[in-house]
Every structure is written in C-alpha cells, then in structure tokens.
A = this chain, B = another copy of it.
Amino acid sequence: MLTNPRSDRVKAVRALSRRSVRSRTGEFLAEGPQAVREAVVHRPDLVRDVYVTPEAAERHTDIVDAARAARLWVHDVSPEVLAAMCDTESPQGIAAVCRVLDVSLAAALADLPPDAIVCVLTNVRDPGNAGTVIRGADAAGADAVIVSDASVDVYNNKVVRSTVGSLWHLPIATGVPVPVILSALRERGITLLAADGAGQTLLHDVDLGRPHAWVMGNEAWGLEPEVREACDEVVRVPIYGHAESLNLAMAATVCLYASAEARRRRR
C-alpha cells in the first residue's frame, strides 16, 4: 500500500495536472470510477497504472477485476495518497495514469463510413463545454471528433470528467490547425456545415444525407468569419421562443442528433 503523499511517484502523478507535463510525458490522469472504468474496459492498452483506495476497491470490484484481467498494474493507495495525486476534490478513491489516445488527423479520418458524421471543435476553450460536446458526439454515433490547435486540452481533468468516458469511445485528433482540418475533410468529400446562430440555413432544411462535418466555434464568440466562409453551409438551430441562443453544447447536441436521426432513417 502506498501511504506517503509526498513520495516522488505521487508528485509525478500530480504533475500530470499540468498541460506541459502531459505534453512531455504523453500521459494524463483519469480520475474517478467512471473515467477509469471506460479506460480499463475500452482501451486497457493505454492504461499504465491504476491507483485505488481500499474502500473504492471494495465498491468498484468490477473495475479492479477488469484491470487485473487485463494484466494492468493495480496499486493500493491510502486516501491521502489518492487525494494528493488528483486534481478533482473528491476523486472517489480511484484514478489511472493513461497514455494519451488522440490519433493523427489522417488516422481519425481513415475509416469513415460513406455516410460519415464528423464533429469539429474550433477554439473551444471551456473544458465543460468541450467534454460535453465529445459526449454528445459519441451518443449521436459520430465517427470522429477533431479538436483544433487553439482549443482546450482534451486531457484537462475537467474535459475528461465531462466526457464521462466518451474520450475512449471514438477516434479523436487534436492540435490540428483549422485550415488543415477543413481541407482534409474537403479532400475526402465531406460537406462542411458551420453551426452558427447567425446561419442562413435552418437545421431542418439542410441536407444531412451527405457525409458531413459539424464545425463548432468558441462558446462565447462563435465561429471566426474565415472559418464560416470556408464551410459549405452555415446552419442555425431554429429558435422558436424568445431565447437569444442555445449554448455550444446544446446546439452541438441538437445538430449531431439531427444527423443521427437522418442516418437512422436512411439505414
């Protein structure tokens, strides 16, 4: 049992809360049972160490069993050690050091089906919004998520938590400049749909029968004009009441579910 919250190992794990350390090591910390479970079940190949308190090991036998079955290192730690490792205030007794899982843009777009749905995040800065959009993309059955270079780091603990495991569920490319993303999608014959409250086309009028990508902008100021112009259509979710707008995560989820519903009807 690891009991010293000031040990080098604990410090090394805690350091993963810094983006620079994540970049250098290629590792991040998944905190809490939901994230650890998804990592262990979906991508055990990317899990390096699982840390668990005795109490959490008893409560989450499924996670510990799955980790042991996958021959992962499961370390018993005291609650003080776990708290010292984690960024979250109440990590619920379990965390895992994981290797980063993003793939190259080419790899993320390699196995798209002919009726692909792709979700592109440009300049999204708020961790909760970014994570919720990734979760929504997963739920709607999107085939890939691409996150632009000027966006929040997807391995930020708040992003990881907000994805509720979806981070491990679908191909994600990160750190790509927006023009590179758009031209790669265009080359593959994917229609670019900018989601924007000022769009000319209403969501229910857009043809979602083509392979397409939803291009989402910053949560406060939306899409940059040059990104909007580089897209094939600028689409807005209709507002039927008096609300000025939807927030990013809501608009993204409504758009992605419109795509999912169009695909369901065709298939």
Contacts and interface: CB of A to CB of B under 8 A. Distances in A.
Interface residues of A, number: 36
Interface string A136-168: 111111100000000000000000000011100
Contacts of A137: 241
Given A204-B261, A264-B204, A264-B238, A246 B136 contact: yes
Given A204-B261, A253-B250, A254-B254, A242 B138 contact: yes
Interface string A233-267: 00001111111111101100110010011011000
Q: How many copies, total?
A: 2
A197 B6 CA distance: 43
Interface in A67-95: none
A170 interface: yes
Interface in A107-139: 132, 135-139
A59 interface: no
Given A204-B261, A237-B257, A250-B250, A242 B169 contact: yes
Nearest to A134: B243
Given A239-B139, A253-B254, A260-B238, A165 B244 contact: yes
A42 interface: yes
A164 B244 contact: yes
Contacts of A164: 243-245, 247
B139 A246 contact: yes
A166 to B, nearest CB: 5
Contact of A243 (B165, B204, B240, B254): B165
A260 B42 CA distance: 36
15 contacts: A132-B247, A135-B243, A136-B246, A139-B239, A139-B243, A139-B246, A141-B240, A142-B241, A164-B245, A166-B242, A170-B242, A204-B261, A240-B263, A240-B264, A246-B253
The 7 closest A-B pairs by CB, nearest first: A141-B240, A169-B242, A139-B243, A138-B243, A138-B241, A250-B253, A141-B241
